[in-house]
Amino acid sequence: MHNNYLDSAKKQFEYYKLLGEKTFAQLNEEQLFWKYNEESNNIATIVKHLTGNMLSRWTDFLTTDGEKETRNREVEFENDVKDKQALMAIWNKGWDCLFSALNSINESNFNTLIYIRNQEHTIVDAVNRQLCHYAYHVGQIVFIGKMVTDTKWTSLSIPRGNSKQYNEEKFSQPKHKGHFSDDYLKKDKK
């Protein structure tokens, strides 16, 4: 059971990481720092926040509280990222920490209780909490990307007007086991 859950969760995280990266690939450096207004976050700030959260939650995941004393969440919303290269380094640092922690979970420690701000979580609850949080912010990244590229945006899912063709292709195949993200992740690795 735990292996199935963890495999599914890892694929979901990989999928959201890929959506972010496919968005970054469509943007120039200036667009990564565009803000709708002063109360909004730009993509670079969202990435900085995600990474701060990931490093706090996933470092020593099984043994320390997920809200580390060293974390300064307020600083995550100060934009000091300088360029796309720095943004990608920050992005990858957070995801590397997350996947390292997920890969450390096994049958012998799967029932470990995890704490976030002193609140007890099962591993499933802690992983689900973060999966939802990261999907929320990656959705913001994609939405900002769509806004700043306007008509130059390349769809990351089924392009508008292609639903019928997409479904016909899917239903022409025999029923099979798999994860919905398999097609997206395979295309990216080519």
The answer to whether residue 179 sits within a structural domain is no
pLDDT of residue 10: 96
pLDDT of residue 179: 79
Q: Mind listing the pLDDT tens digit for each residue in 53-73?
A: 999 999 999 999 999 999 999
CATH code, 15 = 1.20.120.450
Render 70-92 in DSSP notation, one character per residue. Answer: T--GGGGGS----SHHHHHHHHH
The answer to whether residue 176 sits within a structural domain is no
Task: Please name the residue that has the structure tokens 């100060």.
Answer: 78
In this structure, what token pair is assigned to residue 21? 């990266």
The answer to whether residue 49 sits within a structural domain is yes
Tell me the C-alpha distance between 147 and 155, whole Å. 12
The answer to whether residue 165 sits within a structural domain is no
Q: Give the percent of the chain with pLDDT over 90.
A: 78
Q: Which domain holds residue 135?
A: 2-157
Render 135-171 in DSSP notation, one character per residue. Answer: HHHHHHHHHHHHHHHGGGPPPSSS-TT-HHHHHHHHH
The answer to whether residue 94 sits within a structural domain is yes
pLDDT of residue 183: 73
SS3 62: coil
Whole-structure pTM value: 0.91
Domain total in the chain: 1
